[in-house]
């Protein structure tokens, strides 16, 4: 993916054979509009290693906010969901639901001109699927905000999806701007009980056909995925998506592996994300502890990002083997050698690791968990008598372990 013309370029590769990347969502809501806080979230995301950033703003001056957040992102590939702005401004500009279908496309063009690098385009939900969803036995028929906007517009106007109707023109636009289409999963399951039903799979089939069409016309594309899904379904989900789409990048939200974790949903999502990444998912959308409860604050953005990065890395050790395990080997050697400075330096948040290390009194070589009974101290005499372990030998075990 390439950052667009108006800002400094940072190239981030997403796809097969590459490290799993992590996306951070920021943006105002209809009730909390604090642009400074959103800018701080972007800065935090950049500081803690987000690979991509998306602006999901739905409150305030959306053009102004998007431009400020793009500026703050320091060239990190930047995404949006144009359906939000099309709906919010369309309802004001036109007579209620009578938003013309071209209006949806004009907002896409506006975002491309601003230098947006990738956009969620909900082209896979057809009018028929929207009708079926709202009449389905799902616990939560539609949980995607963009998806519900498209569904309401199609049902009220009895018209086909504007992104689908103008698909060829969208392809031309994205090619011209060298931007990426991220096919939205309007019908992702919002509870583990709704996972892998006919609606989710029907949209995935539609998105896969659209993705293949985009690839054949030289347009960069990825497909978005669930959502909520029990652990046993995740590997099959990734494999099915890859097989249907011809292997385009899979961009997953979580998946959250349980519905019970309010306040800790970044952990429920990280468990699913690690499994998805290990099975071949390419980009992981972080979730914060405030998911399902509130707009996140800056600290929650940081927590969510770090959880997602750990999940992505855990997946990569399986997916990429020795190629991804270098840091694990280095830290393990430091841990066995009681090298605290080294370990802390490699932590996802060295300040936090350092604070925790110092939280109880105890000026000792080990840590305060076992104190003087630390295994490395007890075995020190034997460990130091062993021949020095070679880094290459250790890292090759990851490759051997997974048959690479």
Residues within the interface to ligand SF4 (CB under 6 A): 366-367, 369-370, 374-376
Q: Which SS3 state, helix, strand or coil, does residue 23 take?
A: strand
Of 222, 283, 294, the residue nearest 252 (C-alpha) = 283
Of 53, 52, 51, 23, the residue nearest 39 (C-alpha) = 53
**Closest distance of CB 344 from ligand SF4, Å:** 13
**Identity of the residue, 159 or 365, whose beta carbon is nearer to ligand SF4 in the bound complex:** 365
| Cβ pair 323, 19 in contact under 8 A | no
- H-type alpha helices, 94-223: 101-113, 127-134, 145-157, 162-165, 167-176, 198-216
**Closest distance of CB 397 from ligand SF4, Å:** 21
**Closest distance of CB 377 from ligand SF4, Å:** 7
**Closest distance of CB 357 from ligand SF4, Å:** 10
**Closest distance of CB 369 from ligand SF4, Å:** 4
**Closest distance of CB 375 from ligand SF4, Å:** 4
**Identity of the residue, 11 or 369, whose beta carbon is nearer to ligand SF4 in the bound complex:** 369
**Closest distance of CB 366 from ligand SF4, Å:** 4
Tell me how far apart the alpha carbons of residues 45 and 78 are, in angstroms, rounded to a whole number. 12
**Closest distance of CB 68 from ligand SF4, Å:** 45
**Identity of the residue, 193 or 336, whose beta carbon is nearer to ligand SF4 in the bound complex:** 336
**Identity of the residue, 331 or 374, whose beta carbon is nearer to ligand SF4 in the bound complex:** 374
**Closest distance of CB 267 from ligand SF4, Å:** 22
Tell me how far apart the alpha carbons of residues 345 and 393 are, in angstroms, rounded to a whole number. 24
**Closest distance of CB 374 from ligand SF4, Å:** 3
Residue 66 is encoded by which pair of tokens?
A: 């998007």
**Identity of the residue, 103 or 376, whose beta carbon is nearer to ligand SF4 in the bound complex:** 376
Q: Note if the bond before 255 is cis, omega within 30 degrees.
A: yes
Strand pairing partners for 183? 121, 223
Mention every residue, 6+ apart, whose C-beta is less than 8 A from residue 52. 1, 12, 14, 21, 22, 23, 24, 76, 77, 78, 79, 117, 118, 283
**Identity of the residue, 373 or 393, whose beta carbon is nearer to ligand SF4 in the bound complex:** 373
- Longest Cα–Cα distance of the chain, Å, equals 81
Q: Which SS3 state, helix, strand or coil, does residue 88 take?
A: helix
Give the 3-state secondary structure percentages of the chain, helix then strand then coil, rounded to 5. 50, 10, 40
Mention every residue, 6+ apart, whose C-beta is less than 8 A from residue 283. 14, 20, 21, 22, 23, 51, 52, 222, 249, 250, 251, 252
**Identity of the residue, 336 or 389, whose beta carbon is nearer to ligand SF4 in the bound complex:** 336
**Identity of the residue, 346 or 376, whose beta carbon is nearer to ligand SF4 in the bound complex:** 376
Q: What phi, psi does 220 have (nearest 5°)? A: -70, 135
**Identity of the residue, 169 or 376, whose beta carbon is nearer to ligand SF4 in the bound complex:** 376
**Identity of the residue, 156 or 341, whose beta carbon is nearer to ligand SF4 in the bound complex:** 341
């Amino acid at each position: 993916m390439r950052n667009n013309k108006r800002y400094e370029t940072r190239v981030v590769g997403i796809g097969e054979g590459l490290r799993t990347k992590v996306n951070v969502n920021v943006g105002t809501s209809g009730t909390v509009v604090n642009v400074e806080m959103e800018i701080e979230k972007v800065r935090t995301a950049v500081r803690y290693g987000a690979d991509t950033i998306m602006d999901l703003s739905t409150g305030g001056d959306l053009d102004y906010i998007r431009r400020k957040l793009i500026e703050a992102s320091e060239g990190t590939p930047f995404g949006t969901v144009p359906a939000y702005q099309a709906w919010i401004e369309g309802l004001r500009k036109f007579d209620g639901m009578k938003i013309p279908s071209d209006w949806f496309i004009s907002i896409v063009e506006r975002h491309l001109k601003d230098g947006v690098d990738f956009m969620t385009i909900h082209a896979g939900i057809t009018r028929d699927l929207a009708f079926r969803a709202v009449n389905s036995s799902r616990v939560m028929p539609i949980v995607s905000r963009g998806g519900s906007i498209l569904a309401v517009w199609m049902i009220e106007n009895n018209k086909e999806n504007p992104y689908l109707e103008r698909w060829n023109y969208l392809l031309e636009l994205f090619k011209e701007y060298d931007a990426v289409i991220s096919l939205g999963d309007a019908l992702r399951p919002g509870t583990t009980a709704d996972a892998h039903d006919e609606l989710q799979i029907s949209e995935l089939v539609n998105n896969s056909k659209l993705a293949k069409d985009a690839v054949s016309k030289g347009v960069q594309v990825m497909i978005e995925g669930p959502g909520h899904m029990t652990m046993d379904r995740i590997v099959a989900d990734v494999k099915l998506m890859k097989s249907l789409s011809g292997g385009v990048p899979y961009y997953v939200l979580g998946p959250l592996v349980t519905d019970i974790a309010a306040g800790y949903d970044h952990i429920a999502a990280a468990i699913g994300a690690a499994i998805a990444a290990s099975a071949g998912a390419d980009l992981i959308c972080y979730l914060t502890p405030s998911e399902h409860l509130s707009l996140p604050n800056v600290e929650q953005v940081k927590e969510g990002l770090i959880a997602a990065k750990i999940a992505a890395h855990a997946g990569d050790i399986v997916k990429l083997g020795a190629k991804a395990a270098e840091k694990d080997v280095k830290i393990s050697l430091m841990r066995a050698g009681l090298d605290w400075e080294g370990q802390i330096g490699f932590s996802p948040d060295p300040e936090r690791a350092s604070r925790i290390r110092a939280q109880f009194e105890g000026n000792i070589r080990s840590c305060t968990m076992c104190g003087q009974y630390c295994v490395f101290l007890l075995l020190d005499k034997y460990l130091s008598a062993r021949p020095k372990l070679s880094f290459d030998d250790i890292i090759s075990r990851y490759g051997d372990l997974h048959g690479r």
